[in-house]
Chains A and B, each alone.
Chain A
Amino acid sequence: MDELLEQFLIEGPEQVQQAGEALLALEGGPDDAALVDQAFRAIHTLKGSVGLFDLPAMGRVLHVAEDLLGAWRDGRQTPSRGAVDALIAATGQTERWLGALAATGGGLPADADAVSADLVSRLSRVLDGDAPASAAVPARHIDTAWVEALFRDRELDPTRHPTVTALRYVPDAGCYFRGEDPIAFARAVPDLLALRITRRDPAAPVAIAAYDAYACDLVVELLSAAALEAVKGPFRFVPDQIQLLSWSPPPVPSTPVPPPAPAEGPRSLRVDAGRIDALALLVDELVVAKNALSDLAGQMADGLAPQAAAQILSDRQAALDRLVGRLHRTVMGIRLVPILPLLRRFPPVVRETAIALGKEVDLVVDGQDVQVDKAIVEGLFEPLTHLLRNAVDHGIETTAQRVASGKPARALISLVARREGDHVVIAVTDDGRGMDPARIRQAAAARGLLPARMLDALTDDQVLDLVFRPGFSTAEAVTDLSGRGVGMDAVRAAVGRQGGSVAISSMAGQGTTVRLVLPLNLVLTKVMVVAVAGERYGIPMDGIVETARVEPDRVQPIRAGRAFVLRDTAVPLLPLAGLLGLSEEGRLDGVPCRAVVVRVGGDLVAVEVDAFVGRRDVVLRPLTGLLSAMPGLLGTTLLGDGHLLMVLDVPGLIAAAPGDTAPAGQGAP
């Protein structure tokens, strides 16, 4: 994807969001000039950026939207409800198009022209003072054939000039009398690539005897490599006589067009400059630490005593360790982005849905200071959209029902993100009718999701969880908004892909809360793979202090357990097979054993394994369902050979072990 487009796809959504926020706020305070200004600037910038690409459908919509906002800004019109609605629809469509552009790498969907014409006529109607639909300004068709012809005639190379600025200037007949010289204008255009000067109708015969040299009859067409604004400069006094556009040559037919990339948006990250500075500082410190090691090597070559060398080496190693740790955290921090911009994209979504359903709904979002991994933020838009639409559609009652049950007519949905330890919790709460467990039981029974006997055994909370089952829907009529067969199961699957979980709770008559729990970052976990009793397990590296090979004569029985001395400290030795409840028969006495030394609380504990298999970087999947209640299991991961690897939480495993295998003799000298 070309760089310009990449940049546009980063900035475009931000501008759409700014415009959208201002427009939503305008509904509440239509006289706020600052809001109009904010929306105008955002749309104006967007329109300018869109002009750089061959996106006429999008450009036309933004053009009319800008005109309308301009009319408000200059006080020529005042914002009306219908006008704000039309503009919100336009920004919403622009956002969808930006999504499509990101997915396809530069193309709009096939229906873009029709959708665009629709929006343009809607906006134009508002702009023209609600004139009848038939009087709507038809979408202006921009004729670019002359650009193409000029480009071809000059034999310009499409690869060298992927985008050119094209200008067509048809001076009016009296221009010479105003002192305008079209040739002088053309001369002032920077980076000229092509210039064609013709008579307006080159084929028309000329009456030589009666020729009027002062009735301007010229048409000037030119191409330039300079930016739109730069080319426009010399023609700024004749804006009504020029056609100015940014144009890209169509791909040369002989070179195959690369297939559109799969629907994965551009992966880029905006990083706060301060974080990069911090990284640079850390790297400087690393260089210093490295030099200190070189010094030590020199000193040792000069005959430094091994004892002293070991002491210095240990100090420097500790310093290096701290540095690497900080470097790691800093890099992880760079991937963290605020979640609030994502949440702020939803008020328009809720509003659109509510209007379509004839409901009145406010959405409040909160997530100040919550930061999550960028990949997670990117994966949340879809499931949250679905949850919010569901809430508006199924959760919120009709206005009449609400009033009848003594609730305020305007419903309230809150979307709140907050951090809890290593996780971020996102709660979608509505004050609607709540979920009725009895109705869900009926629906589940009718769809044969579970046998009646099992259904009866479920508690009400467990019944609510059934809505996450594939193919479950309690809506009598599958509505256009939340239906289409995509239910809550899709939400659970999407959140699960991010390593998260979803839970639902509800109070009949008072509302429903859906809670998403997600890890703060989706990064690789380093695990050590060990073998025990013929099975392989993973142990997270960050919990491992060291690995040890223990000679049998160093192992001493202490009470019911065993221990060995590791650098003047007695370390209990627990068999992993025993902790896992596996058979310990395979263990041989009298041969050295292998142990992973981990820190549990403040103490070291050695866990005996049969073999070390190796280290792996894995994406840890948290456990779901019944397994999630198992102590001592962190999650699972798929190994390269397709085997499922259980990753163990060793401290949890030890804590859950029955008393007789609990560590003994901890801390004894």
Chain B
Amino acid sequence: MTVEVEGTVIRLRGACAAEDAEILLSRLQAAPESEIDVTACRHLHGAVVQVLLALRPNVRGMAEDIFLRDWVIPNLAAGR
């Protein structure tokens, strides 16, 4: 389980694969105000990234993965 829902926060944990995009999408469709916590995230599949780019939820937390933290996450915030 790499997509955990806790109240209004959706935690992405570990390596999020293509399948996680579907779960994330349906959760965001149900609760558009959810925040995404990427602190424990090690990878985001392209499909997950595109859901985040399209639905633009609030993304918070410093990912432990350096590539995500330095290069990918800033893109998710920049589009807002």
Residues of A within 8 A of B (CB): 171, 175-176, 180-184, 186-187, 192, 195-199, 202, 206, 208-209, 211, 213-214, 216-218
B53 interface residue per 8 A CB criterion:
yes
Do B29 and A197 touch across chains, with their CB atoms under 8 A apart? no
* B29-65 interface bits toward A, Cβ cutoff 8 Å, 1 = contact, 0 = none: 1001000000000011111111101110000000000
B25 interface residue per 8 A CB criterion:
yes
Contacting residues, chain A, for B50 (C-beta < 8 A): 199, 213, 216-218
Known: A176-B46, A206-B55. A214 touches B21 (CB 8 A): yes
Given contacts A181-B45, A199-B53, 20 further A-B contacts (CB under 8 A): A176-B45, A176-B47, A186-B72, A187-B67, A192-B71, A195-B71, A197-B49, A198-B79, A199-B79, A206-B54, A211-B29, A211-B55, A213-B24, A214-B18, A214-B22, A216-B46, A216-B47, A216-B50, A217-B54, A218-B49
Q: How far is the CB of B49 from chain A (nearest CB, A)?
A: 6
Q: How far is the CB of A304 from chain B (nearest CB, A)?
A: 74
Residues of B within 8 A of A (CB): 18, 21-22, 24-25, 28-29, 32, 43-51, 53-55, 67, 71-72, 75, 79
| Contacts between the two chains (Cβ within 8 Å), count | 76
Q: How far is the CA of A186 from the CA of B70 in the complex (A)?
A: 12
Closest to A213 in B: B21
Do B51 and A211 touch across chains, with their CB atoms under 8 A apart? yes
Contacting residues, chain B, for A216 (C-beta < 8 A): 46-47, 50
Q: How far is the CB of A524 from chain B (nearest CB, A)?
A: 59
The secondary-structure label for the interface of chain A is mixed
Do B46 and A182 touch across chains, with their CB atoms under 8 A apart? yes
Q: How far is the CA of A175 from the CA of B75 in the complex (A)?
A: 21
Contacting residues, chain B, for A180 (C-beta < 8 A): 46
Contacting residues, chain B, for A202 (C-beta < 8 A): 79
Can you list 16 pairs linking A and B with CB atoms under 8 Å apart?
A: A176-B47, A183-B46, A187-B43, A187-B67, A195-B71, A197-B75, A206-B54, A208-B32, A208-B54, A209-B29, A213-B24, A213-B25, A213-B47, A213-B50, A217-B50, A217-B53
Q: How far is the CA of A184 from the CA of B22 in the complex (A)?
A: 19
Of the residues A175, A195, A199, A206, contact of B72 by C-beta under 8 Å: A195
Q: How far is the CA of A192 from the CA of B28 in the complex (A)?
A: 31
Contacting residues, chain B, for A218 (C-beta < 8 A): 46, 49-50, 53
Do B75 and A196 touch across chains, with their CB atoms under 8 A apart? yes
Of the residues A192, A209, A213, A217, contact of B22 by C-beta under 8 Å: A213
Do A197 and B22 touch across chains, with their CB atoms under 8 A apart? no
Do A181 and B18 touch across chains, with their CB atoms under 8 A apart? yes
Of the residues B45, B48, B54, B72, contact of A211 by C-beta under 8 Å: B54
Q: How far is the CA of A184 from the CA of B71 in the complex (A)?
A: 12
Contacting residues, chain A, for B46 (C-beta < 8 A): 171, 175-176, 180-184, 216, 218
Contacting residues, chain B, for A184 (C-beta < 8 A): 43, 45-46
